[in-house]
Structure 1
Amino acid sequence: MFREMRRKKQILSLEESIAVLNNGTSGVLAVSGDNDYPYAVPLSYVYHDSKIFFHSSKTGYKLDAIARNNKVSFCVIDQDNVVPEEYTTYFRSVIVFGKARILEDEVEKRSALEILAARYSPDHEQGRLQEIDDLFKPVCVVELAIEYMSGKEAIELVRKKQGQNN
């Protein structure tokens, strides 16, 4: 159903791909936008239990697009080092594909918000719980259930890892 990566030597393992998602703080959500144009929007997120969670206002372009077509992709760039003298970039990134849904159940929504808030304010539990209480009604939370994940890194990084393992 999903295309296999052409450059198989550059594939990240599942564990490495999950590490990229866990380390990242922002990614780009791509949805099917108006008039068949793709729409990609950067946003903060959290990866948890094979899902991506993000929050939003209750109205807007991305939510309209998700309502029309819940199939989305999400990309996180972990490393992007330009090496001018080699005419290349040492990169590491992950893209996921899955289905997005708005969390309507209050228990699910609160749980996702707590996970998201803990990711960005790990040392401020009381403050983040108060913020969730204050903004619970007007905020929307979206869950992206991952169906396929693909990570890739520059061949130079692959070679460097192989050299360290020898």
Structure 2
Amino acid sequence: MKDHQLSEEEITYLLENAASGVLGTSDADGSPYCVPVHFVYLDKKIYIHGLTAGEKTENIQRDPRVCFTVYRMGELLYSAEAKSPCSVNTAYQSVVVKGSAILVDDLQAKREILDAVVKKYTPQLACLSMQETAVMQTAVIVITPAICTGKYYL
């Protein structure tokens, strides 16, 4: 067993509470494309919103395999007597998810996911309704995890 593994509960907590994540896809020539995103974690799936056109959505439509990462960096860990930069470490927690992504087509499902995004990032605006055209013009990506691992160092 690897050292410093997060429990399933700790992984869930980080996915539910991280402010942002990084979505990794493959572009047309197979090169990695990684982009920071806002997201929500609901029912063991990751939901991302964004523009309906662009490299992120084009890459997913071509190849649904994705990687998604969240992390929380804490303080640098070293003693006042440290004699080398190599004796410095970092307190952190991270989660890496490998899985497949698709675009959500169902308008009601998109609305519910976008409502969850609003509640997470701007809860003071959650009582306001979203215009139907805004929902239609927003892409919602759902990632179904196949592998989910977490690590920490304290």
For normalisation by structure 2, the TM-score amounts to 0.88
Match of residue 152 from structure 2: 153
Task: State the partner residue of 2:89.
Answer: 88
Q: 5+ residue gaps in structure 2? A: 80-86
CA RMSD of aligned residues (A): 1.6
Q: Is the 2:115–2:126 contact (alpha carbons within 8 Å) kept by the matching residues of 1?
A: no
Q: How big is each residue's C-alpha offset from its partner over 1:81-132, in whole Å with a ceiling of 9 and x where there is no partner?
A: 22354411111100111111100111211111111111112233223x23x5
Distance, in Å, in 1 between the alignment partners of 2:127 and 2:13 is 28
Q: TM-score, normalised by structure 1?
A: 0.82
Number of corresponding residues = 147
Partner AA of 1:119 in structure 2: K
> Which residue of structure 2 aligns with residue 39 of structure 1?
33
SS at match of 2:102: strand
Picking from 61, 67, 88, the partner of 1:67 is 61
Kindly tell me: are residues 8 and 72 of structure 1, through their superposed partners in 2, closer, same or farther at Cα, counting changes over 3 Å? same
Equivalent residues of 2:11, 2:150 under 8 A apart? yes
Percent of residue pairs identical? 31
Answer whether contact 2:107 2:135 (CA < 8 A) is retained: no
Q: State how far apart, in whole Å, the 2-side matches of 1:75 and 1:100 are.
A: 14
Q: Which runs of 4+ in 1 moved over 3 A?
A: none
Cα distance in structure 1, aligned partners of 2:133 and 2:63: 31
Q: How does 1:135-146 map to 2 (within 5 A)?
A: 135-146=134-145
